[in-house]
Amino acid sequence: MTNSIEATGNHKTIPLWVLWLLVSVIVMLDQYTKLLCTQYLERGVPHTIFAGFDLLLAFNNGAAFSFLNGAGGWQRWLLSGISVAISAVLVVWLWRLPRQQRLLAVALAFILGGALGNLYDRVVMGYVVDFISVYAGQWRFATFNVADAAISCGAALLGLDILVNGVRHG
């Protein structure tokens, strides 16, 4: 058995190294955009790119949607531990994934890349850097980052895989 995700029919093979490359690109893109935003944006001051889309630097000490944001510091290590555990499960899952499950493999790579990008922030700085702000009128969605977007895309692909291929056992 090789470490590649083989396709059935006319599809090409996705070697496992390509998935690790995808994870790495997501982490690097996430960290680079966060670095640029922390260097050039002022915290809390929106910079409109176009109507409905701002760059808005924010630091999130909590989890998604700022859950546990004001918990006093202990959440940093709890959330880091959860991220490490989930990342380890995803690495093993990707490594052992049957070769024909390409869509699932890409979904897991997106989720892993996003999880590692945010984990780095949380461990090194104690908070996650967010900067993407979308809105309509007075309604504003939670500020997020490239890692969050990758996790969301991965979750959508995971859902699509379940719809297309069903839940696999074994």
The average confidence (pLDDT) of the chain is 87
pLDDT at 7 over 50: no
User: Parallel, antiparallel, or unpaired for β 128-136 and 139-140?
Assistant: antiparallel
Report pLDDT for 8. Answer: 45
For residue range 116-168, list pLDDT tens digits in order: 999 999 999 989 999 999 999 999 898 999 999 999 999 999 999 999 988 87
Per-domain residue ranges for the chain?
Answer: 17-165
Question: 41-72 pLDDT, tens per residue?
Answer: 999 999 999 999 999 999 987 665 555 555 55
| Residue numbers annotated as active site | 130, 148
Region 33-44: what's the mean pLDDT? 98
For 127, residues 6+ apart whose C-beta sits below 8 A from its C-beta are 59, 60, 61, 76, 121
